[in-house]
Amino acid sequence: MALVTGEYPSSGYALHAAVDTMLGYPTINPNSSPQDSFLQDHRLIEALKYSYAQLSTPINSTYLHQVNGTNIGAYIRSLINDTHSYPMHHYLNGVQLLTTSGGQQHVCVIGPDDIIITITMSLGSNFGSKLMASGFILNNAMLDFSWEGKVQSSLQVPMANYVRGGAQPVSSLIPAIVIPSLSKCGEYLMPAARSRSMSVSGIAQVLMRKASNLGIKDSIAFKRFNQVMSTNVVQLEDNQPTGLAQYLRQRQRSHGFYSAK
């Protein structure tokens, strides 16, 4: 399985980092023990935190390869603690967490010639900037830039997302296509999600289930969790496997944790 997605400043950058991290761990399958499955969920939660932090302080992949002989997935795996989770500031290295506005819409098309196109777009918040040009509503993506005083925080402004001429702000958009990694034969997927706060987490979990040889329908239907970055809370869908909540509490320590309806 190979994931093709948008580069920074797209949130596809965070999705790629999380998926690349998880593909380096042993595969979990339906016959794996509950403890192994729970550990994999913990690792994915940690991978998501580090991956989101990468939006604030992106690391150049070429630099990683040249200096450390590694890639972003291996780099994040080297940081993950299998027995402990940390407050969010630990992952951010003194830089503010980036947030983006609004949801998104997707158009995914497969042509008769098997050419695949996926387009993701967003107005930002509802009705965008509320301004129109040539019959189109303009988005308010300018508000996704960072600047001094935008938020009350003692952490540094993410300079990679600083408002300046010719720059693009970080985006919640995640155009993504999954293709077979070894040949042209196999399944092709176009994952998409609307909720900006759950998109990376939700898509990553579906892809990891698919990588563990679950069918695509079962991968989508599998109960999911969501790591809320701003509050360091883990939300769980109801009817999760028995013991998962306790397992994560032991590693989340004093960090918030509750079941989402």
Read off the pLDDT of residues 12-36 as tens digits, 9 standing for 90 and up.
889 999 999 999 999 888 788 999 9
pLDDT tier at 254 (50, 70, 90 boundaries)?
very low
**Residue 75 lies inside a defined structural domain of this protein:** yes
CATH code at 10? 1.10.246.130
* Residue 146 is assigned to a ligand binding site: no
Mean pLDDT over 141-145 rounds to 88
Binned at pLDDT 50, 70 and 90, residue 63 comes out as low
Number of domains in the chain: 1
Given pLDDT bands bounded at 50, 70 and 90, which one contains residue 48?
very high
Q: In this structure, is residue 210 part of a structural domain?
A: yes
The two most distant CA atoms of the chain are separated, in Å, by 58
How does residue 143 score in pLDDT terms, banded at 50, 70 and 90?
Answer: confident
Query: Annotated binding residue at 238?
Result: no
Q: Would you say 172 is a known binding-site residue?
A: yes
Q: Is residue 60 packed enough to be buried (19+ CB in 10 Å), middle (13-18) or exposed (0-12)? A: exposed
Identify whether 64 is part of a domain. Answer: yes
Q: What is the DSSP code (8-state) at residue 197? A: T
Q: Does some domain include residue 28?
A: yes
| Res 1: pLDDT | 82
Cβ neighbours for 191, distance < 8 A, ≥ 6 positions apart = 176, 178, 203, 206, 207
Please report whether residue 105 resides in a domain.
yes
Which residue segment(s) compose the domain that 182 sits in?
A: 2-222
Q: Is residue 96 part of a domain?
A: yes
Q: For residue 260, tell me if it sits in a domain.
A: no
The pLDDT, as a whole number, for residue 176 is: 87
Q: What is the pLDDT of residues 88-98, one digit of tens each?
A: 888 988 899 88
